[in-house]
Amino acid sequence: AQSVTQLGSHVSVSEGALVLLRCNYSSSVPPYLFWYVQYPNQGLQLLLKYTTGATLVKGINGFEAEFKKSETSFHLTKPSAHMSDAAEYFCAVTANTGGFKTIFGAGTRLFVKA
Amino acid sequence: DSGVTQTPKHLITATGQRVTLRCSPRSGDLSVYWYQQSLDQGLQFLIQYYNGEERAKGNILERFSAQQFPDLHSELNLSSLELGDSALYFCASSGTFGTGELFFGEGSRLTVL
């Protein structure tokens, strides 16, 4: 079975500062990895995904993530935070373990200070 | 707009009752997923259907059941409701079988009193 751990339920940064949201996964088979964002009263929407190939993945709104197999990590970064980035972020892993299940981490709420 | 439609958006009911949540996936998507989101449990995978067949099961209680109909819409039935079933229930759809992006609806917020 696969699992996802997001380090830090809350992260606070100043506007213009680096955003780093941490995600570690566990999977017995090669995983597909995703980051989703959830704004208040909305469903989740995809920021970026890793399936195969290049380990540095670029997504929407200036976010990117790097797949590091040796560290079983898929951390999300953005060089400069904007106020509009304040939201909850979920890391997710999909693996074929007797059916494709997409398992989500507990989420990290990002606060951006002016 | 993700293209996934969920109804109702809000539902208030009493313990012991039964409710049905409905989901219409994006046009052409064959996979439908159901998730439960609560403050203490986070986002929990319940069940997945692909073209009418159950394909993966998560932490779905026996009091809950789901199905996907020939027109690809899906329903999640919750029965003998308890206070702890109060949560936001999301439906998501995907155009690929298990490995692609999930498109989420806006959720159905269930309150059990």
Q: Which residues of A touch B (CB under 8 A)?
A: 32, 34, 36, 41-46, 49, 51, 90, 94, 96, 98-107
Model confidence pLDDT, tens digit, residues A74-85 = 999 999 999 999
Question: How does DSSP assign chain B, residue by residue?
Answer: --S-EEE-SEEEE-TT--EEEEEEPPTT--EEEEEEEETTTEEEEEEEEETTEEEEE-S--TTEEEEE-TTS-EEEEE-S--GGG-EEEEEEEESSSSSS--EE---EEEEE-
Average pLDDT over residues A40-48: 91
CB contact under 8 A, A46 and B101: yes
Whole-number Å distance between alpha carbons of A33 and B30: 21
* pLDDT over 70 (residue A72): yes
Q: What local confidence, expressed as pLDDT, does residue A2 receive?
A: 82
Average pLDDT over residues A94-98: 76
Model confidence pLDDT, tens digit, residues A4-39 = 999 999 999 999 999 999 999 998 888 899 999 999
Q: In this structure, what token pair is assigned to residue B85?
A: 């079933």
* pLDDT over 80 (residue B100): no
* pLDDT over 70 (residue B97): no
Closest CB to B58: pick one of A45, A46, A101: A101
Model confidence pLDDT, tens digit, residues B14-54 = 999 999 999 999 999 999 999 999 988 889 999 999 999 99
Question: Which contiguous run of DSSP H or E holds residue A90?
Answer: strand A87-96
Closest CB to B106: pick one of A42, A98, A103: A42
Q: What local confidence, expressed as pLDDT, does residue A42 receive?
A: 87
pLDDT confidence bin for B98, thresholds 50/70/90: low
Q: What local confidence, expressed as pLDDT, does residue A1 receive?
A: 75
Q: What local confidence, expressed as pLDDT, does residue B39 receive?
A: 82
Q: Which residues of B touch A (CB under 8 A)?
A: 2, 4, 33, 35, 42-43, 45, 48, 55-58, 90, 92, 97-99, 101-102, 104-107
Q: Is the alpha carbon torsion for A95, A97, A101, A102 positive or negative?
A: negative
* pLDDT over 90 (residue A40): no
